[in-house]
Chains A and B, each alone.
Chain A
């Protein structure tokens, strides 16, 4: 639970105290004001107080000044700052997230973001869809996906589907593709169906710690009813939550991203890839699969296993990957970012894919397809770029 500001301390002191409390938080004292964080931040140039200036303000005892500006809401929690920091200060999980928490507690939440948080509170997903329809994609696709409540037996893999993968019409296409891959591989799996709730990771990064804990608690209750070997998910934010955040709430399960799971089963998957995709493919590293959790190789190995695929790298790749703009509540602040800077990070990324000569932009995160597909319509020369989840490409190669 987020702690309210202590009346005995000044605001800045209280905030500093909270920062020092988090893991490696004391490193904030080692900041050398080099400014790498702000320079590498994709939207740092738009912020009144980019990360290094926030730290300077904290030291000067004038953090109130920082919070009187709304530029913190430009932060998409992409981990680029934390990744380059020579003092290894937990900038994303610490400074930026704690500052957002203070903003939310003080009632300074942008209206656009409020909507997603309110819907998450009420419906258990930020899209405001009926929780009863969480597994409606199964019926829509007419495929056989076992639901744990009906299965009534242990499974090897519990597939945590995630918000966008469950509810967003474009993301559902990749979800259906992954179901087909699991079936083709004869994976023993089940989903929670209507019992699944938002993983809450993006809400946490958007400063709503209490909401995150409430959602995590709902998932914990649902999961505790069933026996399974591990959790598999296509959603890098769900992956991050299960891997790094839920254990702190005593919710601990072995978890793999689907690209890890499939790469570990590549020997069985490879013979199924009988078709060809003769195309130049660029892979976009999602922030919470790559930079935050170090998964870079498995998605590439899956793509290289598809006959005909030539993998190319974009200018910003692996650790230096460029955020799609949806993390940390970014997907709920599109209008805000546009108003502030007239930019869409997804357009930068699509331009890079075109520059790299890619015909297909391959993804491993359900947040991204709608965003990048939209960007192909607005970026000059990107009209022919095909945007596909790796699972979709695998199914295409299996059907070929």
Chain B
């Protein structure tokens, strides 16, 4: 089983985000990139599949501060090949249409049986990566998955629906899967293991093809969320405050 995992780096929301002078993009001065949280689950799911049924895990990402660390950590966790695309950087917040095209160019050479991506990212402005990539590759796609089993060339996935519903499906390979949660929480790796990987693992740099950036919407204006002013602070003695809360809840028909 040849498994490819695509990893997006996205702005770290722990740092305060600021909008740049153009008013259409984030200011990158203090911006820190972090691995898209569900991509970490996609990687974990790939490693679980490899541990259960054997195979080869290739991790593909693009340029951006922290990309190397992400790749080395992936190697330490058990990935076999690390590819970084040069000439396209997450610092520039490329749209998913663009990413799908440049990732697809690499994937065609890799001929994977399975392509795993995180099902979404908080900076997806033009749809999520998985379906766009599947279209480029001419592969089927299924997303919002919380489990993947492969046996004798048959791939069975657990797809989640709103309202607590889930469905088990079969999908023909090769396929692109959008992972929502890996079957086990992503593993922690001791720093010393990552440092070992830095010495032994190799990152293969590949020039990205000149990307076609069409298809994504253009940003006209970006805003920080407006602070709500609807909150009313209740003051007074505990009993009075408690009585008032009960009153409000009754008025709203919640009691």
Question: Which of A's residues lie within 8 Å of B, judged by CB?
Answer: 1-2, 4, 104-105, 107, 109, 111, 113-114, 117-118, 121-123, 128-130, 132, 208-211, 213-214
Closest to B196 in A: A4
Closest to B35 in A: A122
Q: Which residues of A contact B193 (CB under 8 A)?
A: 105, 210
Given A111-B185, A114-B185 in contact, is the A123-B191 Cβ separation under 8 Å?
no
Contacting residue for A209 out of B15, B185, B189, B192, CB 8 A: B192
Contacting residue for B191 out of A4, A113, A214, CB 8 A: A214
Rounded to whole Å, the gap between the CB of A10 and the closest CB of chain B is 21
Contact B30 A104 (CB under 8 A): no
Contact A130 B15 (CB under 8 A): yes
B182-221 with Cβ < 8 A to chain A: 185, 187-193, 195-196
Q: Which residues of B contact A211 (CB under 8 A)?
A: 190-191
CA gap between A128 and B193 in the complex, in Å:
22
Contact A132 B15 (CB under 8 A): yes
Q: Which residues of B contact A114 (CB under 8 A)?
A: 185, 187-188
Given A123-B14, A128-B14, A130-B14 in contact, is the A107-B195 Cβ separation under 8 Å?
no
Query: Beyond A107-B189, A208-B190: 14 further Cβ-contacts under 8 Å?
Result: A1-B195, A2-B192, A104-B188, A105-B192, A107-B188, A109-B188, A113-B188, A117-B188, A121-B191, A122-B34, A129-B14, A132-B15, A210-B192, A211-B191
Among B14, B30, B185, chain A packs the most CB atoms within 10 A around the CB of: B14
CA gap between A122 and B12 in the complex, in Å:
11
Rounded to whole Å, the gap between the CB of B44 and the closest CB of chain A is 12
Q: Does B251 interact with chain A (Cβ within 8 Å)?
A: no
Closest to B187 in A: A107
CA gap between A22 and B33 in the complex, in Å:
39
Q: For the complex, count residues of B whose C-beta is within 8 A of A.
A: 15
Contact A105 B16 (CB under 8 A): no
CA gap between A208 and B188 in the complex, in Å:
11
B11-49 with Cβ < 8 A to chain A: 14-16, 30, 34
CA gap between A122 and B195 in the complex, in Å:
15
Contacting residue for A2 out of B15, B30, B190, CB 8 A: B190
Rounded to whole Å, the gap between the CB of A70 and the closest CB of chain B is 14
Q: Which residues of A contact B30 (CB under 8 A)?
A: 132
Rounded to whole Å, the gap between the CB of A123 and the closest CB of chain B is 6
Closest to B15 in A: A130
Contact A1 B192 (CB under 8 A): yes
Closest to B186 in A: A114
Among B15, B185, B187, B190, chain A packs the most CB atoms within 10 A around the CB of: B190
Q: Which residues of A contact B192 (CB under 8 A)?
A: 1-2, 4, 105, 209-210
CA gap between A122 and B188 in the complex, in Å:
13
Can you offer 7 A-B residue contacts whose CB atoms are under 8 A? A104-B188, A107-B189, A121-B191, A130-B14, A210-B192, A210-B193, A211-B190
Q: Which residues of A contact B195 (CB under 8 A)?
A: 1, 210
Q: Which residues of B contact A104 (CB under 8 A)?
A: 188, 190
Q: Which residues of B contact A123 (CB under 8 A)?
A: 14
Rounded to whole Å, the gap between the CB of A122 and the closest CB of chain B is 7
Q: Which residues of A contact B189 (CB under 8 A)?
A: 107
CA gap between A35 and B34 in the complex, in Å:
48
CA gap between A162 and B193 in the complex, in Å:
27
Shortest Cβ-Cβ A-B pairs, 3 listed: A210-B191, A210-B192, A114-B188
Contact A105 B14 (CB under 8 A): no
Closest to B193 in A: A105
Contact A210 B190 (CB under 8 A): yes
CA gap between A149 and B196 in the complex, in Å:
34
Rounded to whole Å, the gap between the CB of A5 and the closest CB of chain B is 12
B138-192 with Cβ < 8 A to chain A: 185, 187-192
Given A123-B14, A132-B15, A210-B195 in contact, is the A105-B190 Cβ separation under 8 Å?
yes
Contact B34 A130 (CB under 8 A): no
CA gap between A1 and B188 in the complex, in Å:
17
Q: Which residues of A contact B187 (CB under 8 A)?
A: 107, 114
Q: Which residues of B contact A111 (CB under 8 A)?
A: 185
Rounded to whole Å, the gap between the CB of B77 and the closest CB of chain A is 9
Q: Which residues of B contact A107 (CB under 8 A)?
A: 187-189
Contact B188 A118 (CB under 8 A): yes
CA gap between A129 and B195 in the complex, in Å:
24
CA gap between A2 and B15 in the complex, in Å:
31
CA gap between A114 and B189 in the complex, in Å:
9
CA gap between A17 and B30 in the complex, in Å:
46
CA gap between A219 and B179 in the complex, in Å:
38
Rounded to whole Å, the gap between the CB of B32 and the closest CB of chain A is 9
Rounded to whole Å, the gap between the CB of B162 and the closest CB of chain A is 26
Closest to B191 in A: A210
CA gap between A200 and B137 in the complex, in Å:
47
Closest to B192 in A: A210
